[in-house]
Amino acid sequence: MPTMPASAPLGPTPFYAPASSIHAFGAEATSPEGAPRPPARTGGDRAVGRDEASGVREASGVREASGVREDSSPRDVFEGEPRGGGRRAEDLGLRSGRSMEVYFPPAENAASAELALLDRVLDMRRQDPTTYPASDNPYRISYAVYNLRSPEIIAKLIEAAQQGVDVKVMVDARQIAPDHPWNKVDEAFEEAGLVVVRNDAEVGDESLRQAAHLIGIQSGHLMHLKTRVFSYRDEQGRVRKAVLSGSMNPGDGATRNDENLNLILDPNVVEAYEQKLSDVFHHQRTANQWNSASGVNVLFTPCRSGVRPIEKLFEWIDAENELILISVFDLTNLVSPSDRRTLVDHLAEAKARGAEVVVVTDRKKSDGRDAEGNRVMMYGFYASNDMIDEMLEDAGIPVYEFVNDAGEFNAMHARSAVFGLTNMKVMTGAGNWTRAGIGSGNRRGRNEESFIFIDSSRLDDNRTGRRYLGNALSILRNYQEQDTNPEPAEALIQRLMKRPEWPRVDIDPRTWLSPEQCAAYGREGQTIVLRSDDEWLNNLLGPEGFRVRWDDPARMIRVPFGALAKFNIYTRAEDGSDGSDGAGGAGGAGGAGGADGIDGAETLRERSVERIAIPPADTPEFPSFTASPRADRD
């Protein structure tokens, strides 16, 4: 039987091993300098919502911003290089070499990224004939999630366990209790012969907890993480790892929510998540660490030492003078640990300094009402009005309260805040901005949560910051008919874009055309002409419109990031005909002159096409793996 190369690192000790035996490992089991990694830390009323919002919204097929919102098929993106000479990420499926990507359901199919990583671990396990002792199995899938209801993901986890992958799934114990019969993951695991512990507080046998594939964590508060860690050996025998974490549960319906899910490949951040999973399993508080030189940090609750996430939140608010755009499912008037003043006070001060401050939240949580004004129940209780929305509005801060209308159990479930425009930062993660989630004043957060802090200017020249900004703008636009107070969302966006710091991006207008339009209008011998009735865009396109042949070199125009571009599409045949093949112009504009004032050689193809100005480099990159034989194993 082939053996592993002598230089190949061993797999990690499982996070569920006794705490004293845990050691950490990153994307490879050595530090960037080649030295062994140090030991890890130890340590009309109607009911809505069964537990956490987790409905499903089908892919809309709407195309925004050259792929920012499009159908759900995953696609590769090749542009971009790692900053600072960091390790490339092709082996974890990001051919651009980035160390982080984010997906925004419902517009983007985050589940495809999760399934791709599950398949990668499973495929590499199948190719490896080696039998590993449990303590050194490099093929691991570790979940710590509030709930798990996706049939596809459940099936993949079962298959992985049966193929020799070390699978450990932790969920909140309440989610697989008898009074939650809609959650079937425990039954599915048991039917497949896997070990299930529904409530770890009721099990005295530690060996049973260690052996469990599915374990309900009973902490007295919410086990509210939404974290997946993937580990495997690549073709060269190196241990590779990735984390998926954010606001999104692997539910049967979460793809209809407004969510985020972050793919993180940074070894130090992955290591921090591994330690958190160990702490959850062993019912220990986490020692938070902050690396000021890193573009990505993660802070957890409950923590026993280190920086608290609420401290960093208020620090970032107090440092911001350009933009604070908050999109949070559940928001309360938190108290700063440093000065005992409230979130509303600090946001009002930021506004007084000149920062634009905008808040978006879920109306079911903020007002306890659905879109029709009916009282709703969440978690078995009538949702209450926290009053923070009224306090923010009294301070002159616009608050938009939306209801995700995709289904009864769906939500505007996002958790993010964008800070700044010049040097963009993002706070996101699993936790709500509540006393139990993030803490308040001297009171520490009690739920098991993660909060991701992204210095996007340091990480990727603001790309991730723009991704989160674009998603916030999409949420405002998608639901703008629900809440026009104090001003319509599009008017707000147009006002924000007038700020001198607002990012401008270079766009080739041809990227605004759909594949179908490209096929129809981009054939040889025709020139595509784009014109707009919007003054700002027409000034950029030029007095005669933007004219370009499909095979011409790229021609860029500089536009405000996220701007709504409304334009008309014409074609012009080089031989002087209208280029319509006798079909006439769409909208009856195929003849000469006319009310549109169009040259007779031009044909109106489509009127009032709308696109969002997002550069192609800011569209999401999905994990994509190329199967290759493992020569050292055959």
Does the pLDDT value for residue 23 go beyond 50? no
Q: Is the pLDDT of residue 436 over 50?
A: yes
Phi, psi of 606 (to 5 degrees): -145, 140
Given this model, what pLDDT does residue 518 score? 81
Mean of pLDDT over the chain: 82
- Please state, in angstroms and as integers, the Cα–Cα distance from residue 445 to each residue in 13, 235, 270, 301, 303, following that order: 29, 42, 22, 6, 8
Percent of all residues in the chain with a pLDDT value above 70, rounded to a whole number? 78
Q: Is the pLDDT of residue 49 over 50?
A: no
Mean pLDDT value of segment 393-411: 92
* Largest distance between two CA atoms of the chain: 86
Give the DSSP H or E segment for 606.
strand 602-612
> What residues does 454 pair with on adjacent strands?
296, 426
For residue 466, pLDDT beyond 60: yes
- Asked, colleague to colleague, whether 24-30+67-284 and 287-497 share their fold, the answer is yes
- The 3-state DSSP class for residue 270 equals helix
Asked if pLDDT for residue 53 goes beyond 70, the answer is: no
For residue range 364-377, list pLDDT tens digits in order.
888 777 777 787 77
Q: Buried b vs exposed e over 129-146: b needs ≥16 C-beta within 10 Å?
A: ebebeeeebbbbbbbbbb
Q: Specify the pTM.
A: 0.84
Decide yes or no: CATH 1.20.1560.10 for domain 24-30+67-284.
no
CATH number of 287-497: 3.30.870.10
DSSP-derived pairing of the beta strands 140-145 and 166-172? parallel
Amino acid at site 567: F
- Whether 420 shows a pLDDT value over 50: the answer reads yes
Q: Which residue has the higher pLDDT, 613 or 518?
A: 613
Domain definitions of the chain by residue range: 24-30+67-284, 287-497, 504-618
Mean pLDDT of 107-116: 95
Question: Is residue 446's pLDDT more than 50?
Answer: yes
Nearest CA among 604, 609, 608, 550 for reference residue 578? 604
